[in-house]
Amino acid sequence: MSTRLADVTAPPRPRPPAEADFGRVRQEVDAALGEFLDAQARDPADRCLPPLVGVLREFVRGGKRLRPLFCYCGWLAAGGDPSGGPVARAGAALELFHSFALIHDDVMDSSDTRRGRPTVHRQLAARYQGDDEPSAARFGVNAAILLGDLCLAWADEMLLTAGLGEDDLRRASPVLHAMRSEVMAGQYLDLAGEWTEDVLDRSWRALRLKTAGYTVERPLQIGAALAGGTPALLRWCSAYGRPLGEAFQLRDDLLGVFGEPGTTGKSVLDDLREGKQTVLMALTWRRAGPRQRAVIRELHGAPGLDEDGAARLRDVITATGAEDVVGELIEARAREARGALDSAGLPAVARRAFAELVHQAIRRTR
């Protein structure tokens, strides 16, 4: 049964009409990140840290800032001031948490590129003082793990210094803690840490925990909680955010195999070389015949997979109809999110912002 938010949330304080300006929100998040990293470089715990801050500054450049945008929209849904205020810095803290997750994910996946640039562990390996390539690679991985840990610690520091009240932080803390635990569980499942014959079930669970929850649902709830949103509003954030987050990741799975590297900034070989058990590949396996499964066994997860092998795998994915099924799932999840939006008594500015985010999440090309 749909929840009518107009019945369960306190009416927002009267204020002049305003529009959500996503460009401005991104700029404010970028500015908050820049100021924070400048401060870390000016007054470091040790002089070894400023060069790492420089690596991180380059890494965070060019991100889509989806999590801060969803956090801002949750803030709007609870009647928060469209001008934003401290929610931009809270969103920047989420971006640092996202950086932690990406840096560690690239280490675990042995990825070479991220956003069209070398991954952090590759950049740090190139800074190793010596000619021993295995030692340089090991140094890059270990240093990247530490830099990811710093991002996790700094995300807390940024949130605690965002100018939020104690009550705001108390309301948001349970959601923040849940998000962090879910990301770790999702990453473990993504590594096939749980043995199961039902690979499709594990793929769905990893998708929901690792990406859908922490990309859309939880940032929405954090923003709503920071603006004093009721438990009913936070439940609505789940009704809207979960299907949209699933659509976002399903789209990402397609881009990881069929996207344009010049646009996505990531090789279309990485997911296939790693043998990543996405919903797309789990559906392909389930629908494949014996000869097609032989191709998947031979090539999916092959470290030396080349473009010809990837093309053979793409042919199998397309021939089984899995690519089309994932496209249909994306549209179905988007309809579910729009249906939740249609049933909600949101402030007009929030409704328009939420509708725009549905479009951005499922039509994206990177």
Judging by beta carbons within 10 Å of its beta carbon (0-12, 13-18, 19+), is residue 240 exposed, middle or buried? Answer: buried
Using CA atoms, how far apart are residues 104 and 298, in angstroms rounded to an integer? 28
Question: Residue 284 corresponds to which tokens in the numbers above?
Answer: 């392909």
Torsional sign, CA 336, 339, 341, 343: negative
Dump pLDDT digits (tens) for 256-294: 999 888 776 677 888 899 898 999 999 999 999 999 999
Confidence of residue 6 (pLDDT cuts 50, 70, 90): very low
Residue 18, pLDDT > 60, answer no
pLDDT value of residue 8: 42
Q: What is the pTM of this model?
A: 0.89
Q: Which residues pair with 117 in a beta bridge?
A: 114
Using CA atoms, how far apart are residues 188 and 170, in angstroms rounded to an integer? 28
Q: Which whole-number Å values give the CA distances from 148 to 51, 205, 247, in the listed order?
A: 14, 24, 27
Confidence of residue 298 (pLDDT cuts 50, 70, 90): very high
Dump pLDDT digits (tens) for 130-160: 889 999 999 999 999 999 999 999 999 999 9
**Residue type present at position 319:** A
Residue 123, pLDDT > 70, answer yes
Using CA atoms, how far apart are residues 224 and 168, in angstroms rounded to an integer? 10
pLDDT value of residue 344: 79
* Complete domains list, the chain, with CATH: 17-363 (1.10.600.10)
pLDDT value of residue 85: 81
Residue scoring higher pLDDT (60 or 85): 60
Highest mean pLDDT among 17-21, 209-213, 342-346, 347-351: 209-213
Which residues touch 226 (CB under 8 Å, ≥6 apart)?
A: 71, 74, 75, 78, 80, 86, 87, 90, 164, 168, 171, 172
pLDDT value of residue 366: 65
Instruction: From 99, 61, 95, select the one nearest 265 (Cα to Cα).
Output: 61
For the stretch 24-29, contacts whose Cβ atoms lie closer than 8 Å and that sit 24 or more positions apart, written own/partner, are 24/84, 25/65, 25/68, 25/69, 25/72, 25/84, 25/88, 25/91, 26/65, 26/68, 26/69, 28/84, 28/88, 29/65, 29/68, 29/88, 29/91, 29/92, 29/95
State mean pLDDT over 238-265.
89
pLDDT value of residue 362: 75
Residue 22, pLDDT > 50, answer yes
Dump pLDDT digits (tens) for 60-79: 998 889 999 999 999 999 99
pLDDT value of residue 4: 43
Using CA atoms, how far apart are residues 139 and 210, in angstroms rounded to an integer? 27
pLDDT value of residue 9: 44
Dump pLDDT digits (tens) for 187-241: 999 888 888 889 999 999 999 998 889 999 999 999 999 999 999 999 999 999 9
How does the average pLDDT of the chain come out, rounded?
90
